[in-house]
Amino acid sequence: MKEIIVIIGGGIAGLEAASNLLKLGYSPIIIEKSDHLGGHVANWHKLFPDLTPAKDLVDELIASSKDANIFLNTEVSFINRLKDSYNIMLSNGISIITKYILMTTGFRLFEASKKEEYGYGIYNQVITNSDLEHWFNTGQDKRIDESPMNAIGFVHCVGSRDEKARNSQCSKVCCITAIKQAIELKEKFPDAQIYCFYMDLRLFGKKFEDFYTKAQRDHGIHFIRGRVSEVGENIEGKVIVKAEDTLAGKPIKVTLDLLVLMSGMVCNPDSSKTASMMALPIDSDGFLKSSDNVFHITASPKKGIFYAGACTGPKTVPETLAEARSAVLDIHSHITSQEK
Amino acid sequence: MREIYLSGFNTFVLPFMFGMLFVLGWCLIGAVRIIFQLTPDDRKKFFLSFLNPKIMLKNIRDWFCDCLFHVKLWKRNKLLGYMHSSIAFGWFMLIVIGHIEVFLYTPQRVHQIWYPIFFRYFVAVTDSTMKGSFFFFLMDFFLLVVLSGIVLAIIKRARSRIFGMRRTTRASLTDLIGLYSLWAIFPLRLLAEGFTADISGGSFLTKSLNLVLHSFLSDQMNMLPTWWAYSIALCIFMCILPFSRYMHIPAEILLIPMRNAGIPVRHARKGISRLQVYSCPSCGVCIDACPMGVVKANSKDATVYLNRQIKRSNERRIEEISDKCLLCGKCTAVCPVGVEGDRIRIAQRSIRPYNLTPDYSNIDENSAILAVNNFVSTENNVVSNTNNERVLYFAGCMTALTPGIRKSMESVLRKAGVSYEMMDKDGGICCGRPMLMAGRKAPAKEMIRKNTNIIKASGATTLLLSCPICLKVFKEEYELEGIEIIHHSEYMDRLIAEGRLHVESSDVRYAYHDPCELGRGCGIYEQPRRVVAAAGQLVEGAKSGKESICCGGSLGSLSLGFEQRKLMTENAINNLTADNPDAIVTACPLCKTTFGRYADRPVVDIVEVIDSKTGN
Amino acid sequence: MNGFGFRLSPSSAINLDKVDRSRFEELCSIEPDALRCMSCGSCSATCPAAQFSGMSIRKVLLNLQRGKEEEAFRLMSNCMLCGKCTMVCPRGINTRRIVLTISRIYEKEEKR
């Protein structure tokens, strides 16, 4: 009999895990809360650093995992621990008994309106990174004027590295995402001055640094080391950003046509809710806690429960995919060792 | 009634006399010192207040209501109120009636001050001459009242929750000696009077006790030791009184007229602040009231302990306690004797030496003065601008971080057709309140001077504020004759009442949070509630109004760190959401930011509510 | 020295070997968060005193750690203690306490 493996979350981690499990001959079941697969990546336009269309990646993942059992618009109602397996009750009334659960519950974007000083939801010209990707995809956003813009700003670390926003961790991908989006906007509005307000630029991944250089040299994007502390509005309805240029050691003020807030990754409350049904530990940053953070990132302290992707902390797309495969291999070796 | 001793004296009165003279002398010297520590102006004001019949009447009322009947404690908890007032009023009546007896029956003994106290030892009554039976009954009755209070006090030591108190004060050694001697006085008095009741006469209590005692103790000589014990208990109590919390009994008598005369706390340790410290009865009502108390370790930083440490001159702890406080003023609001915990703490901060002092000479208010002479007239919607009202809107430092409040305020002003001008469009000079809270009066005065110049130069008739922290200092410390100082919640209340703002009501259930500086600080409770009720359904938190709980974000605390405030904020939110409202409404930018961090539902300012519910 | 067209000013360079850290350590014993600043600049950007004296609690802390105390005191001289920096600090540093503590434990050169 084929072993059933329940995957909670149909984002890229869940899909990649399902497709690999299928290849190994298992029977994965994906439980997805929303009405579509691919999670956050499905709403994205292009992926750094090669500007791969996100749609291509998601389509490929969906195609390779189409043989899995997929429940959309479905949530986990409760989970019972049986002797050596779990009984999962779904919101659509179906119950599943399985020995293996893979948590790919992902993250949630920080609610930018929580940082009121940045004016999201108050000023018309303030949008988030995900609003911008949505506009790239659909071309529809009332806040973005198609007429030429003079100046555009990006605020890094919105809700990340911020104890006041209750997220002290670095969201890892915003630096490179801001650079990517800045380049994309510069291509659409070549005459606009673009300013990135950062605290530290953390460009650790492959080709990230090249991307940064490209943004500086080829696109003339200005990088200002200083966290924005206040956003105001002038009489014409343009936003005024106040920061300190910490390298010049002087307060700095600039008038902008558009301000993009780089909302960070925070723990997904649904993830914590599901975790609490299985008494899984939550880390101090609110994300799920792995057995250890070096050798067993994909293992939970509970037997038969595994993690992959951003449910344990902010991750890039390649990291998430790699973790999904790694978790599949963990599950596979666990099953084969049981059979012996 | 006849006397049975010629001299009217027995050696057992000596301990009492010693204690009595000691405590009277101590209090007299103390009172004179405190009065002389007042500034000459305050002292004059204090003495003149006795000539004002209105204040004098209030004094008399307060003496009775506060010292004897403990009305404020009754309001808090009936049992607690009864306990305190039975002892205080009962004892007072025993003394008064004792003196009446002496006046009526043995007027030749009036000058012997121990005589009323030990009256029944010295007199005898025969059955045929029961002249004093009415007074005997009263004396026994009030003794019973006091004894019932003592019984409750003993129960309270073990089970304070019955009296509505979660936490009570940890007694110091002198407090304990005072407490036990106080508890001993009245049973010993009962015993002594019981022994002599067959000679001196007595009433239902003493007479019946006499019968019981004589059923197994027939020797008359037993009575002398009990009178000695009674006198010694009184002596111990009176000698320990100045060093224990019972000092509040005489101190409060002086505090009441000083408070009614309006003498403010000016010095950390002298004058009225010292008097307030001694007036603290260590009842511990402030411990439960303190918003910092959610962290158990903080309950030793309540006002009652500050008072104790000031008495002991423990400088390290005084500094720690006074720096930690949020200055929310709740301890002052609930204190039954009127100790101003927040002002006393600011006074402690004010005597701290600083090597570096700010210098604002290069802060130039002239550029700001030029900028404020440009009132925005909203011609499109001029409704009833009959009185040439020119509103100067000072949003305040904190509002710069909550642009939603500022934007909604401007929108509401435009909708109501108000002619207004922003005072701090590009950042202004701080109002001075945060500096005052840190106890640094001189630099605060400098800021106040500069802002006063700007406001006066603007030609405004009204100064509109969004931040209650600013509001309090503008009302209390600024001299802006002819300019009305008003908070936006009051102003909107007026605009709605005058029909200049048309608010559409809704079903949204709003829980209103009283910001400390607006409610307890400026006494504004009703206006914001009327405004909220115009826009939706007003819901109250479990505790509200005078007893609302500080959001935890207060600038008052100098030492509390960000993490340490979290539990206080969560506790305040739980208090507000007790009735499960849809949103929390506040009227302070600081409360809004603080609640916004941890609340599970929207937190909005009152002006944002009105802006969203106003059409025009 | 005139002929070279440049000269070394003693105040323009920082010699960490000669920095007296004792008072900064005293400050940190009272408010350990003084060490947690990551120099993001939020405080300076929001500071209402910044436009008058260039006040920046970030720079004050940096100058104290680099032994440039007089410069720190100059920056601080316009602090109004309004608390905006405390509000915006992403590390939750109690900047008002730091200002008050510096004012107490440090002394100006001429006084020492």
pLDDT tens by residue, A70-89: 999 999 999 999 988 999 99
Contact B579, B511 (CB under 8 A): yes
Report chain A residues whose CB lies below 8 A from the CB of B407. Answer: 122, 233
Share of chain B above pLDDT 70, in %: 95
Distance of CA B535 to the CA centre of its chain: 34
3-state secondary structure of B283: coil
Domain layout of chain C by residue ranges: 22-111
Helices and strands, counts by H and E, chain C: 7, 0
Segment A197-211 shows an average pLDDT of 94
Q: Which two tokens stand for residue B198?
A: 């067959």
Does residue B326 have a pLDDT over 80?
A: yes
CB atoms inside a 10 Å sphere around CB B561: 16
Residue ending a domain, among A230, A265, A300, is: A265
Amino acid B441: pLDDT: 94
Partner residue opposite C92 with nearest CB, options A163, A200, A250: A163
Mean per-residue pLDDT over chain B, rounded: 90
Pair A121, A218 in one domain: yes
- The C-alpha angle with vertex C55 and arms to C50 and C59, in degrees rounded to 5, equals 130
Q: In terms of domains, do A93 and A119 share one?
A: no
* Span B236-249, pLDDT tens digits: 999 999 999 999 99
Q: Is the pTM of this model over 0.95?
A: no
Q: What is the pLDDT confidence band of residue B218, given thresholds at 50, 70 and 90? A: low
Instruction: Please judge whether C41 and A245 are an interchain contact, meaning their C-beta atoms are less than 8 angstroms apart.
Output: yes
Q: What is the rounded distance in angstroms from the CA atom of residue A32 to the CA atom of residue A20?
A: 18
Query: Which tokens sit at B20?
Result: 């009595």
Asked whether the predicted pLDDT for residue A189 surpasses 80, the reply is: yes
B187: three-class secondary structure by DSSP: helix
Q: Is C35 on the interface with B (CB under 8 A)?
A: no
Higher pLDDT, C53 or A284: A284
Q: Is the pLDDT of residue C10 over 80?
A: no
Is the same domain home to A290 and A187? Answer: no
Q: Are residues A120 and A246 in the same domain?
A: yes
Q: How many CA atoms are closer than 13 Å to the CA of A179, on its beta-carbon side? A: 26
Both structure tokens of B613: 């519910």
My answer on whether A228 and A303 are in the same domain is no
Q: How does residue C31 score in pLDDT terms, banded at 50, 70 and 90?
A: very high
Please name which of A109, A143, A116 lies closest in space to residue A228, comparing C-alpha atoms.
A116
Give the per-residue pLDDT at B1. Answer: 65
How far A255 CA lies from chain C's nearest CA (Å)? Answer: 15
Does the structure show a pLDDT above 80 at C5? no
Buried b (16+ CB within 10 A) or exposed e, B352-379: bebebebebeebebeebbebbeebeebe
Q: What is the model's pLDDT at position B565?
A: 94
Q: Look at B31 and A83; give whichever has higher pLDDT.
A: B31
- How much is the pLDDT for C54? 86
| Number of structural domains found in chain A | 2
Predicted ipTM of the assembly: 0.91
Among the candidates A265, A282, A312, a domain finishes at A265
The verdict on A155 and A255 lying in the same domain is yes
Pair (A33, A127) in one structural domain: no
Predicted confidence band at B383 (pLDDT cuts at 50, 70, 90)? very low
Whether A230 sits inside 8 A of C46 (CB atoms) is yes
- Quote the pLDDT of residue C13: 82
Q: Residue B303 in contact with residue B341, Cβ under 8 Å?
A: yes
The predicted-structure confidence for A4-54, as pLDDT tens digits, reads as follows 999 999 999 999 999 999 999 999 999 999 999 999 999 999 998 889 999
As a whole number of angstroms, the distance between CA A252 and CA C65 comes to 25
Report the share of chain B in percent with pLDDT over 90.
Answer: 71
Task: List, for residues A132-166, the tens digit of each pLDDT value.
Answer: 999 999 999 888 877 889 999 999 999 999 999 99
pLDDT at B378 over 80: no
Chain A residue numbers touching B593 (CB-CB < 8 A): 116
A212, A244, A265 - which closes a domain: A265
Residue-wise pLDDT tens digits, B404-438 = 999 999 999 999 999 999 888 877 899 999 999 99
pLDDT tens-digit map of B104-160 = 888 888 888 888 888 888 888 755 455 667 888 899 999 999 999 999 999 988 888
Residue found by looking up tokens 């050798």 in the block: A295
Q: Does residue A157 sit in the same domain as residue A252?
A: yes
CB within 8 Å of B555: residues ≥ 6 apart: B433, B434, B437, B469, B590, C83, C96
How many whole angstroms separate alpha carbon A50 and alpha carbon A170? Answer: 23
- Can you tell me the mean pLDDT for B78-90? 93
The partner residue sitting opposite C48, judged by closest CB among B355, B356, B429, is B429
Is the predicted pLDDT of residue C53 greater than 90, yes or no? Answer: no
Please name every residue paired with A86 in a beta bridge, in sequence order, or none if there are none: A81, A98
Q: Scan residues 548-567 of B and list those with Cβ closer than 8 Å to A.
A: 562-563
Distance from C-alpha of A219 to C-alpha of A185, rounded to nearest angstrom: 10
- Name the residue among C39, C46, C91 with its Cβ closest to that of A229: C46
A260 and A159, same domain (yes or no)? yes
Residues A280 and A302 reside in one and the same domain: yes
pLDDT at C112: 53
- What residues have CB less than 8 Å from B147, skipping those under 6 apart? B186, B187, B190
Fold held by C22-111: Fumarate Reductase Iron-sulfur Protein; Chain B, domain 2 (1.10.1060)
Q: List the chains bordering chain A where 3 or more Cβ pairs fall under 8 Å.
A: B, C
Chains interfacing with B (3 or more CB pairs < 8 Å): A, C
The contacts of residue A92 (CB under 8 Å, 6+ apart) are: A71, A73, A74
The residues, ordered by sequence, that sit 6+ positions from B211 with a Cβ below 8 Å of its Cβ are none
Residue B376 has pLDDT above 70, yes or no: no
Is residue C94 within 8 angstroms of chain A, CB to CB? Answer: no
Shared domain for A220 and A135, answered yes or no, is yes
Question: What are B225-273's pLDDT values in tens digits?
Answer: 889 999 999 999 999 999 999 999 999 999 999 999 999 999 999 999 9
The helix, strand and coil proportions of chain A, stated in percent and rounded to the nearest 5, come to 30, 30, 40
Query: How confident is the model at residue A74, as a pLDDT?
Result: 95
Task: Answer for the pair B513, B541: CB distance below 8 angstroms, yes or no.
Answer: yes
Q: Are B584 and B599 in contact (CB under 8 A)?
A: yes
Interface B-C, measured as beta-carbon pairs within 8 A, has a size of: 92
Rounded distance between C-alpha atoms, residue A63 and residue A268, angstroms: 26
**Containing structural domain, residue A69:** 4-106+268-339
pLDDT value of residue B384: 44
Contacts of A123 in chain B (CB under 8 A): 403
Q: Residue holding tokens 């306490």?
A: C97
The number of angstroms, rounded, from the C-alpha of B441 to the middle of its chain's C-alpha atoms is 23
Determine the pLDDT at residue B210.
86
Q: How confident is the model at residue A119 (pLDDT cuts 50, 70, 90)?
A: very high
Residue B224, pLDDT > 90, answer no
Tell me the CATH number at A324.
3.50.50.60
Among A82-91, B82-91, B166-175, B367-376, the range scoring the smallest mean pLDDT is: B367-376
pLDDT digits (tens, 9 = 90+) for B387-406: 678 999 999 999 999 999 99
Q: What are phi and psi of A7, to 5 degrees?
A: -110, 120
Q: What is the mean pLDDT of chain A?
A: 94
Residue A116 and residue B407: Cβ atoms within 8 Å?
Answer: no
Are the CB atoms for B586 and B508 separated by under 8 Å? Answer: no
**CB A150, CB A192: distance < 8 Å:** yes
Does the bond joining A53 to the residue before it have cis omega, within 30 degrees of 0?
no
Give the pLDDT of residue B611.
Answer: 96
**Whether residue A128 is found in the same domain as residue A249:** yes
Mutate to test the interface with B, among C102, C103, C106 (most CBs of B within 10 A): C103
Per-residue model confidence (pLDDT) at position A275: 94
